[in-house]
Amino acid sequence: ARLVVLVSGSGTNLQALLDAIAAAPEGPDGYGARIVAVGADRDSIAGLERAERAGIPTFVCRVKDHATREEWDLALAEATAAYEPDLVVSAGFMKIVGREFLARFGGRFVNTHPALLPSFPGAHGVRDALAYGVKVTGCTVHFVDDGVDTGPIIAQGVVEVRNEDDEAALHERIKEVERRLLVDVVGRLARNGYRIEGRKVVIP
Ligand code: GRF
């Protein structure tokens, strides 16, 4: 399968996918997917450097370069479509896509979120979980729908919250689980295919 990965920051989830693909054997028992491009909403981030180091084409779609949010959304959709992806993966991509993007990639657009959805959606899931005082949190890989972190859930991983945790420490521990979960899910979606039945995702 052809993957386009969207990033906004350090790109450690992207790196986990790059490493898994590089480590897998070629051919039928391989990972089943390859990254054909990496897109971002901003320049000069480690995520883009990771793609460049791996020799993967990149593109940047900045909201401020477009007159309206809708035009940005269309530009992002077209830049992504140019690589003819089978699956699009948001790995720390921090923008909410719009109607155009979802019209083209809905149902094959996967996001990873550092909390156990539906708890703590949005841009500060780790901070919100910590502030709430939950004893376990974790990460969720889900299909993107027209809400914020509300699409059908594919897989989740649980992470214990420790007394001495601050946001950075907890997020780092979540990301250790998240990277493994994302690599596992993307590989299975690519190799086995899947069905989305209402809120249920079935991977044969
Ligand atoms: C991940 O935890 C992702 O869920 C969240 O931001 C983090 C991105 O990390 N939205 P990285 O850029 O993949 O290192």
Which residue CA neighbors atom 1 of ligand 1 most closely? 92
- 11 among the known binding-site residues? yes
Q: 2-24: per-residue pLDDT in tens?
A: 999 999 999 999 999 999 999 99
* Residue with CA nearest ligand 1 atom 3: 92
Query: Is 97 within any annotated ligand binding site?
Result: yes
Q: Would you state the pLDDT for residue 59?
A: 98
pLDDT at 166: 98
Q: Ligand 1 pocket check: which of 5, 8, 12 to mutate, most ligand atoms within 8 Å of Cβ?
A: 12
In this prediction, residue 48 carries a pLDDT of: 98
| pLDDT, averaged across the chain | 97
Is residue 26 pLDDT above 90, yes or no?
no
CA dist 9 and 17 (Å) reads: 15
113 catalytic residue (yes or no) = yes
Closest CA to 50 of 16, 2, 74: 16
- pLDDT band at 27; cut points 50, 70, 90: confident
Answer yes or no: are the C-beta atoms of 139 and 177 closer than 8 Å.
yes
Q: What ipTM score was computed for the predicted complex, to two decimals? A: 0.92
d(CA 160, CA 180): 16
With b for 16 or more beta-carbon neighbours within 10 A and e for fewer, the 172-183 pattern comes to ebbbebbbebbb
Ligand 1 site residues (CB inside 6 A) read: 7, 9-13, 47, 91-92, 112-114, 175, 178
Q: SS in 3 state form for 37-60?
A: EEEECCCCCHHHHHHHHCCCCEEE
- Residues 6 or more apart whose CB falls under 8 angstroms from that of 38 comprise 4, 5, 6, 7, 11, 14, 47, 48, 50, 51, 56, 57, 58, 59
- Tens-digit pLDDT profile for residues 132-182: 999 999 999 999 999 999 999 999 999 999 999 999 999 999 999 999 999
For the chain, give the percent of residues with pLDDT over 70. Answer: 100
Tell me the whole-structure pTM to 2 decimals: 0.96
